[in-house]
Amino acid sequence: MSKNSSSDVLIVGAGPGGLTAAMMLAKAGVSVTIIEKSDGVGGRTRVFEKDGYKFDNGPTFFHYPEISEEVFRSLGRDVHEELNLIQLDPNYRLVFGNGGSLNVTSDLDSMTEQIRELCGDKNADGFKTYMDDNRKKLKFSRNCLNSPWSGFTDLISRRALRVSRVLRPWRSVSSDLSKIFPDKRMQVAMSFQTKYLGMSPFQAPSLFTILAYLEYEYGVFHAKGGLGTITQRMGEIAQEMGVEIRLNEAVKEFLFEGKTVVGVKTDQGIYHADRFVMNVDFATGMKGLIPDKLRKRWSNKKLDKKSYSCSTYMLYLGIDKLYDLPHHQIYAAKDYEENLREISNNEVSWNDPSVYVQNACITDPSMAPEGHSTVYVLVPVSNQHPNVNWDEIKHEYRDVILKQMEHLGYHDLKNHIVSETIVTPDDWASRDIFKGAVFNLAHGLDQMLWRRPQNRFEELERLYLVGGGTHPGSGLPTIIESGRITAKLICGDMGIIPDWEGQETWFDDLKKPKAIRKLESQLSQSSA
């Protein structure tokens, strides 16, 4: 590419949000270039290989497929065929430190009877109430989550008024669930999913009771070869549609005329475009690519004061045997609330930490050599803090976690480990994740909707955002949604009516841009 090459849209970063936007824009006839600093697409949604074992680097749950189904349908493709999705049953096994377990399934009758056997009729009846309530909550809240926000005045919109009927913003996930389930184990079963946002259920707004509901209603899936194959295929599709993806090229800075982005600079040259999309960790991108003087609301000083998600301590283990155990398992600490308090207080949970374990080879033997298996271990911990020196404790903590895994049936594991990788919050931070907060900005009410960085970035012209740091938030389905929102905004701002195979091209309850209204009027007159 020449020093002054240009395209319609330039995307910095090839994570799932950026890839979604790229595919949809390409389908709309927009020329798109993606610049990615690493040697492959996907961001943290990648598969890496070590010693013949394959591991998902980041996400391992693929749930709420409806968003991805709609995105792929807009491209004229079927997401299940393209991504080799395998539905799991059970979704996962949940083991309670204070006794009992659940094989969590989307078979609601089976789930109800399991709950009845574990903790009685009131909780079984509560499950039906929970599903009915959250079915309504999703119906009313979806327009709030799949549409952009511009400011406080959006609260008086029809979409906000509808969702206000079910959101109960004065309540947390935990307090909401306590009204339905007398047994604390059931409260944990329906609330540990807030960890997907890097938050405690005692702090997460009650909206997020829908997270568990989505698993029950729509199921949990595995992509053959690992979830990283999802973004790999998305990158292939994008290229088939004409998107140029430039790997191993790091963007050094955005270039400006006043407060308008006009280009990006890399070691290879300068790139111009009509519109730009930032698909990197939000705080890292703001601090590294945009001068502080151009940012008032999101200045370095203000970014440092924002609330950020927790982090994760990771073990990626190659095992010389097969464990006949579920694909996904979660162990919930006996004193779950104390476990969460320790994380919130930037302390390490030594006594009884909660643990998530993926045993992918029970479903997908391709992830390891024959007769062997991969075991992926995630422990929620605090993001970077002076209280914790991970270099000093990471190996000792590894032994604690391996012992915890016995609760999930991983007996004698230590003697079968032949490959091992440890990743700490410090390691995540070294990979340009601010404070090692892998779920980005926290999702409290003070950092949601119009208070979150917006998809059409509010402080600069011609800059858009995708990813966990923008609206609607963290988690693979919502990150894909952020890409779709941004694609719609860009098409609207460029005066393009995209052909997305009958899928919605604009947002319910939001006025279409003037350029689109004018174009639609012209098309209507010409066809009359």
Shared-domain flag, residues 205 and 230: no
Give the pLDDT of residue 263: 97
pLDDT tens track for 325-367? 999 999 999 999 999 999 999 999 999 999 999 999 999 999 9
- Among 193, 217, 241, give the residue marking a domain's end: 217
Token representation of residue 395: 């190996």
End residue of a domain, out of 397, 412, 434: 434
Classify residue 153: in a domain, yes or no: no
Please choose, from the candidates 319, 397, 277, 255, the residue with its C-alpha nearest in 3D space to the C-alpha of residue 24: 277
For residue 445, the model assigns a pLDDT of 80
324 & 427 share domain = yes
73 in a structural domain: yes
Shared domain for 9 and 32, answered yes or no, is yes
**Whether residue 23 sits in one domain with residue 36:** yes
Structural domain containing residue 72: 4-84+225-306+437-527
Percent helix, strand, coil in the chain, to 5, is 40, 20, 35
Is-above-0.85 flag for pTM? yes
Q: Are residues 390 and 450 in the same domain?
A: no
Query: Are 324 and 411 a contacting pair, CB within 8 Å?
Result: no
List Cβ<8 Å contacts ≥24 apart for 67-71. Answer: 67/146, 67/477, 67/480, 67/481, 67/484, 68/477, 68/480, 70/484, 70/503, 71/20, 71/23, 71/24, 71/480, 71/483, 71/484
Whether residue 179 contacts residue 157, with contact meaning beta carbons closer than 8 Å, is answered with no
Q: How confident is the model at residue 464 (pLDDT cuts 50, 70, 90)?
A: very high
Question: Mean pLDDT for the chain?
Answer: 93
Last residue of a domain, one of 416, 434, 452: 434
CB proximity list for 501: less than 8 A, separation 6 or greater:
73, 74, 75, 76
The answer on 396 and 317 residing in a single domain is: yes
Strands of the sheet containing 373-381, edge to edge, are 101-104, 92-96, 328-332, 355-358, 373-381, 311-319, 417-423
Q: How many domains does the chain have?
A: 3
CATH code of the domain covering residue 45 = 3.50.50.60
Note whether 183 and 197 are same-domain residues.
Answer: yes
Instruction: Let me know if residue 152 belongs to a domain.
Output: no
Residue at 94 is within a domain: no
Say if residue 300 is in the same domain as residue 344: no
* Residue with tokens 């994380």, as numbered in its chain: 343
Integer-rounded Cα Rg, in Å, for the chain is 23
Residue 97 lies in a domain: no
Clarify whether residues 316 and 420 are in a common domain.
Answer: yes
Domain assignment present for residue 343? The answer is yes
- C-alpha angle 225-229-233 in degrees, rounded to nearest 5: 135
